[in-house]
Amino acid sequence: MTMLQETPPLDGQMMQGALSIPAIMDYAADVHGGARILSATVEGGLHDYSLVDASKRIARLAHALRAMGIGPGDRVATLAWNGYRHFELYYAIAGIGAVCHTINPRLFPEQIAWIVNHAEDRALFFDLTFAPLVDGLAEHLPRRMQRVFLSDEAHRPETCAEDVLAYESLIEGHPDSIDWPDLPETAAAGLCYTSGTTGDPKGALYSHRSTVLHAMSAILGIPQAFGSAKRILPVVPLFHVNAWGLPYACPLSGTDLVFPGPHLDGKSLFDLMETTGTTGAWGVPTVWAGLIEEIRQRGRKPKALEMLLIGGSAVPPAMISALEDFDIRTIHGWGMTEMSPIGTCTRPIAGASREDRIANAIPQGKRLFGLEMKIVGEDGTPQPHDGTAQGELLVRGPAVVNGYFNAPDASKAAFDAEGWFRTGDVARIDSAGRLQIVDRTKDLIKSGGEWISSLDLENLATAHPSVAQAAAIAVPHPKWDERPVLAVVPADKEKGVDEADLLAQMARHLAKWQMPDAVITMDSLPMTATGKISKKDLRSRINVDFGDDT
């Protein structure tokens, strides 16, 4: 049998141009130059400037970084809140071919020291708030690391040594324009470590290409959030997965940015939204509880607020309903640090009723352009996308990591034989492509051979008016292997939780074997450094003894 030789595809005759982060700012300053960046500052007050102004300061910073000896491939760390100087660092560091390494200041000091040394950071830029933290870490930082505080000499912290530079002095006198180097689009641009809930933190090393494509995909997937008439407030920090890509998507689309600085309580967020005319805000579910309470106390929402994009962990239906009470729409998103991070989001339905809007926002929505998804059984067999079958969710795409930074063992374990990334989430996907996260694989409760979803228990619990927050965990059981235990935080600490009524309400939706065996009231739930409930810490705090047999 004669085998036909495969003919190679015909190359198109188009110019080759690398996708790059500085090209976003050049485009934004040229096309959307009047768009604003407003920042609540650490020093106090509201800073306001245009994208044109930002581009000039970014150029000065880029020249200053080169004068410091920072070059291609060097990692430059940041410990900072959401503000205009942190935003400038994003573009200047990546623009000269270095790597912007954002560090979560809520991590333990030992974790920060480990991350800084693992990344081999050359310089550290930090907000005034974190001066004592940096001072305490000084002897654990890499040798000859240069340190810069993000303010001017008038606000120099008392703890700072003489060799610690002031940001404004650093960039003063440098040119406000720059010819960016020609960088390959595969060059590293950003580095973000996972919070390390199991083992050491792992670094996701983003490229220029992945970052630009992710920003474009977000604009395509959530078009109602972006545009010249919109203002987005990223409550999700710039130190957490690039603030979900907003520092890139907003300038690219001409959308105003509102940075909240260090104050993320409900009153501060409400006042900032009101003052700036914020139309949308993005963040994890736990941060919105304070805003909802402030809205209820005032009897109204911030005047221009239209929608919240909520991700990081599953959004309780009760929260979606509470926002609908004040005509605020919920866009439910899902993603991971390893995915740049947004993977899916819900799409609004035109003319939908309140009930349909709530139902539509409960799943995590449909994939963004470029992302592929599949679910597999315990043996790795692909499961159908029929809305019923469930399995571990695997993903791949141009904004998904292909390994962890300097961590070969962790990288090897994170992918299947075909190169798909294992998310650790258990999910269903329906025939319309809608994703529904069932649980984290490590949070599923296996009782008597049957699986119980901790998310289902938590959603039912938070639907009760006496419960503000809830978390379900598995507790070892001598007969059933594991049984669910529910930890709850009361909505009103004086009144507490009406446990009997809570269980009665849950029993209307669950089989008897799915019901929690105990309900434990707590003043607060332990949180991770990224604002999620820490099941790991919760398990260490809860001790339920079921005896030898029940």
Distances (CA, A) of 13 to 10, 16, 17, 141, 184: 9, 9, 13, 50, 20
**C-alpha closest to that of 96 among 169, 182, 30:** 182
Query: What is the secondary structure of 365-398 as a DSSP string?
Result: BEEPTT-EEEEE-TTSPBPP-SSS--EEEEEEST
The closest alpha carbon to 272, from 309, 322, 231, 330, belongs to 231
**Contact 407/202 with Cβ under 8 angstroms?**
yes
Cα–Cα distance for residue pair 134/100, rounded to 1 Å: 18
DSSP letters, 193-219, are E---SSSS--EEEEEHHHHHHHHHHHH
To the query of whether residue 334 is one of the catalytic residues in this protein, the response is no
CB of 42 within 8 A of CB of 126? no
Provide DSSP, 128-166: GGGHHHHHHHGGGSPTT-EEEESS-GGG--TT--TTSEE
Catalytic residue among 41, 78, 194, 530: 194
Question: Are the C-beta atoms of 316 and 460 separated by less than 8 Å?
Answer: no
Give 192's strand partners: 102, 204
How far is the C-alpha of 16 from the C-alpha of 159, rounded, in Å?
50
- Active site annotation includes 185: no
Is the separation of the CB atoms in 286 and 64 below 8 Å? no
Catalytic option among 153, 172, 412, 451: 451
C-alpha span between 327 and 302 (Å, rounded): 11
Among 303, 412, 442, 446, the one annotated catalytic = 446
451: annotated active-site residue: yes
- Helix, strand, coil shares of the chain, percent, nearest 5, are 35, 25, 45
Annotated catalytic residue: which of 185, 338, 392, 458? Answer: 338
Positive/negative CA dihedral, 139, 142, 144, 148? negative
What residue type is assigned to position 408 of the chain? P
Q: Which of 336, 382, 335, 334 is nearest to 361 (CA)?
A: 334
* Token pair belonging to 521: 């009231």
Residue with tokens 């228990």: 457
Residue 259 CB: number of other CB atoms within 10 A? 28
Alpha carbon distance 95, 114 (integer Å)? 26
Q: Provide the β-strand partners of residue 513.
A: none
Cβ proximity of 187 and 207 under 8 Å: yes
Sheet with 435-440, edge to edge strand ranges:
372-376, 391-396, 421-429, 435-440
Q: How large is the C-alpha radius of gyration of the chain?
A: 24
- The residues annotated as belonging to the active site are 194, 338, 446, 451
